[in-house]
């Protein structure tokens, strides 16, 4: 930053060098520079306003002439030869390129393994995934390399459906969702490992139907305390006559999930989730907190209710996690709480379990509703 500051001081200018300059955000000050330096920038894609999404500065380039720099155009080229054909495979109508690419180490898991996994679990997974706005995590070079988070459609996206959703500022933004196994496999082909969903379906975007509580324990907390937290939360929900379901997070905690009929708006839904956690916080102040700040979590479990707001997402059932070991956020039975750790199920475990009885088989049959009083 000091190096760049020194260089920038010498080339500042009063106005934009671009024919169509970007529109400043509220309270944003832009300092314009003469286009004399070249920076190498890694980025996800271009926005509709010609800005870079998820840009990451890599360094200055001195081997090129600034006047030679042009915006790159994406060109898809299909090469017809045996070497390309031998290194691809078609699954659910989707061409899987580089199927032998290693995505996870220890154990070694390839891109083809991941595609086959999502194909195998699709029947169980799609009821929780299809027709819900998605945010995804892609790791095209494997989990040991840079992964990136994506919640807007980009150039070259296939197998997805785009939709415009209004924001709090009365503007609209483009989001995306899938509706079948083809979309799921298309995402896996693009390097998607994690699928995070909104709590509502696109048909009822303003009336959510899945409430999620994520138990996030303080570092080093004994697992028995986390399991007790799950039981305490279930007891509160039982007292409210709400049936709940349990799944692993693939990380430090468990997720307790409540299916609901889409009858109330996001504000009521969000407020109800907050109040549930506040009841726990008041009843057991030494165990639980509803405060997201790290300083409030010392020796406690933060029960994350914030993901129940409009635009927030949670990891979908059966989704892989982009972490060592190919862990999965897996639906489990309540009587498995004491035998399965939050990160205790990996991809291979799921492939064995998916042919067994569905632990959430009656999830969408629950006739549970919230009502505004």
- Domain with residue 264: its CATH number is 3.90.920.10
Strand partners, 149: 137
pLDDT tens per residue across all 373 residues of the chain: 888 888 888 899 988 888 888 878 777 888 999 988 888 787 767 777 778 876 777 778 776 778 778 776 554 433 333 333 446 789 998 999 999 999 999 889 999 999 999 999 999 999 999 999 999 999 999 999 889 999 999 876 778 999 999 887 678 899 999 999 999 999 999 999 999 999 999 999 999 999 999 999 999 899 999 999 999 999 999 999 999 999 999 999 999 999 999 999 999 999 999 999 999 999 999 999 999 887 778 899 999 999 999 999 999 999 999 999 999 999 999 999 999 999 999 999 999 999 999 999 999 999 999 987 7
Instruction: Report the alpha-carbon distance of residue 193 to residue 191 in Å, rounded.
Output: 6
Helix axes 111-129, 181-189, angle to 10 degrees: 140
Instruction: Look at residues 172, 203, 234 and tell me which one is the last residue of a structural domain.
Output: 203
The verdict on 212 and 306 lying in the same domain is yes
Distance between CA atoms of residues 79 and 63, nearest Å: 31
91 and 121 in a single domain? The answer is yes
* Residue 197: strand pairing partners: 134, 314
Q: Which residues contact 196 (CB under 8 A, 6 or more apart)?
A: 134, 135, 136, 137, 313, 314, 315, 316, 319
Decide if 373 is inside a domain. Answer: no
| Structural domain boundaries enclosing 143 | 86-203
DSSP string, 277-300: HHHHHHH-TTTEE---SGGG-TTS
Last residue of a domain, one of 165, 183, 203: 203
For residues 357 and 218, membership in a common domain is answered with yes
Tokens of 107: 């154990």
94 & 27 share domain: no
Residue 8 lies in a domain: yes
Are 354 and 232 in the same domain? yes
Rounded Cα distance between 220 and 299, Å, is 9
How far is it, in rounded angstroms, from Cα 306 to Cα 313? 9
Looking at the structure, tell me whether residues 146 and 252 fall in a common domain. no
Q: Among 52, 26, 58, which residue's Cα sits nearest to residue 40?
A: 58
Task: Specify if 77 maps to a domain.
Answer: no
Q: Considering the domain boundaries, does residue 76 fall inside one?
A: no
Domain for residue 198, yes or no? yes
Same domain, 290 and 335: yes
Q: Which of 149, 174, 203 is the last residue of a domain?
A: 203
Regarding whether 358 and 221 lie in a shared domain, the answer is: yes
Whether 75 is covered by a domain: the verdict is no
Q: Does residue 337 lie within any of the structural domains?
A: yes
The number of residues in the chain equals 373
**According to the model, what pLDDT value does residue 169 have?**
66
Residues 120 and 264 in one domain: no
Residues 6+ apart with CB under 8 A from 270: 305, 308, 309, 310
Counted domains in the chain: 3
Let me know: does 95 contact 76? Beta carbons within 8 Å. no
Give the pLDDT score at 68: 74
Integer angstrom CA distances of residue 122 from 24, 92, 99, 189, 303: 43, 11, 19, 15, 29
Give domain status of residue 32, yes or no. Answer: yes
Question: Same domain for 345 and 240?
Answer: yes
The CATH number for 20's domain is: 2.40.50.140
104 and 58 fall within a common domain: no
Give me the pLDDT at residue 83, please.
Answer: 35
Q: Residue with structure tokens 């509703």?
A: 369
Q: Report pLDDT for 129.
A: 97
What is the rounded distance in angstroms from the CA atom of residue 127 to the CA atom of residue 179? 9
* CB contact at 8 A, 33 and 11: yes
**Dihedral sign for Cα atoms in the order 256, 353, 147, 196:** negative
Distance between CA 254 and CA 337 in Å, rounded? 9
Do 237 and 196 share a domain, yes or no?
no
Q: Tell me, what's the pLDDT at 77?
A: 37
């Amino acid at each position: 930053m000091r190096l760049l500051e020194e260089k920038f001081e010498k080339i500042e200018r009063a106005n934009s060098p671009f024919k169509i300059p970007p529109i400043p955000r509220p309270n944003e000050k832009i300092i314009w520079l003469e286009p004399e330096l070249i920076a190498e920038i890694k980025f996800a894609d271009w926005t509709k306003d010609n800005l870079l999404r998820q840009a990451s500065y890599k360094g200055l380039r001195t081997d090129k002439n600034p006047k030679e720099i042009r915006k790159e155009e994406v060109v898809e080229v299909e090469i017809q030869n045996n070497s390309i054909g031998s290194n691809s495979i078609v699954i659910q109508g989707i061409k899987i390129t580089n199927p032998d690419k290693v995505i996870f180490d220890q154990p070694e898991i390839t891109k083809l393994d991941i595609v086959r996994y999502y194909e195998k679990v699709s029947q169980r997974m799609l009821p929780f995934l299809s027709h819900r706005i998605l945010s995804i995590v892609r790791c095209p070079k494997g989990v040991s390399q840079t992964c990136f988070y994506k919640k807007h459609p980009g150039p070259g996206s296939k197998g997805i459906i785009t939709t415009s959703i209004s924001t709090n500022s009365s503007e609209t933004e483009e989001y995306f969702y899938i509706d079948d196994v083809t979309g799921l496999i298309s995402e896996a082909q693009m390097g998607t490992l994690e699928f995070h969903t909104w709590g509502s379906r696109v048909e009822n975007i303003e009336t959510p139907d899945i409430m999620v509580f994520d138990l996030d324990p303080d570092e080093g907390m004994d697992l028995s305390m986390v399991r007790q937290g799950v039981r305490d939360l279930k007891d509160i929900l039982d007292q409210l006559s709400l049936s709940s379901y349990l799944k692993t997070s693939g990380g430090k905690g468990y997720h307790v999930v409540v299916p609901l009929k889409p009858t109330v708006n996001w504000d009521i839904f969000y407020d109800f989730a907050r109040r549930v956690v506040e009841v726990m916080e008041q009843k057991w102040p030494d165990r639980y907190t509803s405060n997201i700040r790290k300083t409030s979590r010392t020796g406690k479990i933060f029960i994350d209710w914030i993901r129940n707001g409009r635009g927030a997402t949670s990891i979908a059932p059966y989704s892989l996690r982009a972490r060592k070991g190919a862990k999965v956020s897996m639906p489990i039975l309540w009587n498995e709480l004491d035998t399965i750790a939050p990160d205790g199920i990996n991809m291979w475990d799921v492939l064995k379990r998916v042919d067994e009885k569905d632990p959430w088989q009656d999830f969408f049959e629950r006739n549970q509703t919230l009502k505004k009083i």
